[in-house]
Structure 1
Amino acid sequence: MRIATKKLVLCALMTAIVFLITFAPFLQIPSPISQGYYNIGDTAVMIAAILLGRRYGFVAGAFGSALADLARGSFIFVPITFIVKGIEGYIVGAIARGGEENQPSNLRKILAVSAGALEMVVGYFIFELVVIRMIDKSLSVIAIVTDLPGNLIQGALSAVLALVFLTVLYRTKAVKKLLR
C-alpha cells in the first residue's frame, strides 16, 4: 500500500491539531470524579476522520489524544485514550466515508459523529468501571455513573462543533483544494 505524501502530511497536521485542542489548558474542565478532564479534542478527531478517512482518523485520534494525556501527566489514561480515541476516529471515518472518496452526505456525517461520541462515552465508562476501580477501591459505581453526563456533553458538543466546522469547510470549497 502506497501512502501519498500529501495524505501523510495532512494526517500529521491533524494529529498535531488533535493534540493541541485536547491539551490546551483553557479548553479543559477537570472531572470531579476521575483523574481525567473534559475537552473538545473529539472535534478534531471527528474532523480528521471525516476528511481523511478511517485509517488516518484512527492515527490522528489515537496519537494526538494519547500524547495530550502524556504531556498533561495523566499517565493512567494514556493507553485507554489511545484505544478509545483511535477507535472513535476509525468509526467516524468508516461511517462518514463509507469507502467513497467524495464528500459524505449530511446524514452520514451526523451518524458518524454520533457513533464516535457514543463510542467515546462507553469506552471511558468501561475503563473507569474496570481499571480505575481496581486502582481506587473507594470509587463507587454511582460515582462513575455521575461522570457519564460530562462525557455525554463532551461528545455531543464535539460532534456539533465538528459538523459546524465541516459545513464551513465544505461550503468554502477548502476541502476539495486541500484533498486534491
Structure 2
Amino acid sequence: MNAQNNTNTNQSVKKLTMAGVLAAAIVLLTSVVSIPMPGGFGYINLGDAGVLLAGALLGGGWGALCAGAASALSDILLGWSIYAPATFLIKGAVALVAGILFNRSAKKLRYGFFYLAALIVPAGYFLYETILYGTATAIPNVAFNTLQCLIGAGAGHAMTIVLLRSKFYVPHTALRINRTKPDETETAETAAPAEILREPKKGPDVVLIAKRELVPLITRAGDLLSVQGFTARLVATDDQTAFDRLSAEQREKFLPADKPFVQVDDAETTAEAVAQAALQAIRS
C-alpha cells in the first residue's frame, strides 16, 4: 500500500510541477506578443496556445485551473485588470473543454477539438464586452478574438504534438504505473486472456503490458531498457476487460506483486516515453 501511495504522490508532484511550468509559459506567451486592439478594448496575444496545451497535457480539471489563473494574472500584469474575472472563466473553460475532448477522443479527431474549444474565446469575450461597453463596441472585436484563438489553436496543436512525442514527457492518459498486488477480491473463471512474450532469464526489473496490437511498441521499449541495464517482461493482452477480472493469483503469473508494471494503452505513445515511465517505476 505504501508503494502505491508513493507512486500517487510522485504523480501528483509531477503534475503540479508541470502545471507551474505551463502557467509560466501562458504568462510568457501572453506578455511577449501583446497587441492592443483598435479602439483600446483588449489586446491580441498568443496565450491561447498555452491554454490549449495545458488542457491537453494536464487534463480538463487541472488544465482549467492552471490556464484560468495564469491568463487572469497576465491581464492584471499587463494593466487589463477589468478583463481578469472574465479571462479566468473563459480561458479556464477553453482548457476544460479541450482537455476533456482531447483525452477522450480518437486520435484522428482530438486535435480538431482544439479549434472547437478555442472558439469559446470570441464568444465569451463578446458577451463580457457587451455587458461592459455595449453590442456596438463588442461586435468588431469578435473578428480579432476569432483570429487570435485560431492562431493560438494552431500553435497549441503543433506544440502538443512535439511534447507528446518527446521522451521527456509521459502522457498522463497513456500509461498506468503500479507497484501493488492486484485486489484479492478479483475473480475469474476463464483462462487468462494474455501471453508472456519475453521473460528475462534472471527475472524482470519491470513488466511492460499492452494490447496485442501495441506489442511492437513495448518490444522497442524493452530493448531501450536493456541498453540501460534493465530487464523487462513483455505481456500482451487479447481482452483487457477479461484480464482485469482475473483473480489475484491468476494475475500474479503475469504481474508479480513485487515488480512494478507499466500498462500502455495509447498507440501514439513512443517507445522512449514507455521506457522513461518504466525507469520512473523502477526507481520509485
- The two structures share one fold, judged by TM-score above 0.5: yes
Aligned residues between the structures: 165
- Counterpart of 1:162 in structure 2 is 156
Distance in 1 separating the partners of 2:18 and 2:159: 17
Distance in 1 separating the partners of 2:90 and 2:146: 14
Give the strand-richer structure, 1 or 2: 2
Closer/same/farther in 2, CA of residues 95 and 168 from structure 1, 3 Å limit: same
Q: Is the CA contact (8 Å cut-off) linking 1:15 and 1:59 kept in structure 2?
A: no
- Counterpart of 1:132 in structure 2 is 133
Q: What are the residue-to-residue correspondences of 1:1-180 with 2, within 5 Å?
A: 4-24=12-32, 27-98=33-104, 105-111=107-113, 113-133=114-134, 141-176=135-170, 177=273, 180=277
What is the deviation of 1:146?
1.3
What is the deviation of 1:20?
1.4
Q: Is the CA contact (8 Å cut-off) linking 1:11 and 1:59 kept in structure 2?
A: no
Identical residues among aligned pairs (%): 29
Q: What is the identity, as a one-letter code, of the residue corresponding to 1:59? A: L
Distance in 2 separating the partners of 1:144 and 1:34: 12
Distance in 1 separating the partners of 2:72 and 2:29: 12
SS of equivalent to 1:175? coil
Give the unaligned 5+ runs of structure 1: 134-140
Q: Which has the higher contact order (CA 8 A, sep 6+)?
A: 1
Distance in 1 separating the partners of 2:138 and 2:112: 28
Give a deviation string over 1:80-139, Cα, whole Å, max 9, x none. 1111111111111011112x8xxx61411212x122211111000000011233xxxxxx
Q: What is the identity, as a one-letter code, of the residue corresponding to 1:48? A: A
- Counterpart of 2:241 in structure 1 is none
Q: Structure 1 length as normaliser, TM-score?
A: 0.83
Distance in 2 separating the partners of 1:40 and 1:123: 17
RMSD after superposition: 2.1
Q: Structure 2 length as normaliser, TM-score?
A: 0.54
SS of equivalent to 1:107? coil
Q: Which one has a bigger Cα radius of gyration? A: 2
Q: Is the CA contact (8 Å cut-off) linking 1:50 and 1:109 kept in structure 2?
A: no
Give the unaligned 5+ runs of structure 2: 1-7, 171-272, 278-284
What is the deviation of 1:174?
3.6
Distance in 1 separating the partners of 2:131 and 2:16: 36
Distance in 2 separating the partners of 1:72 and 1:87: 22
Moved more, 70-79 or 166-175: 166-175
Closer/same/farther in 2, CA of residues 63 and 162 from structure 1, 3 Å limit: same
Q: Is the CA contact (8 Å cut-off) linking 2:71 and 2:87 kept in structure 1?
A: yes
- Counterpart of 1:137 in structure 2 is none
SS of equivalent to 2:119? helix
Closer/same/farther in 2, CA of residues 52 and 106 from structure 1, 3 Å limit: farther
Distance in 2 separating the partners of 1:45 and 1:164: 13
Moved more, 164-173 or 45-54: 164-173
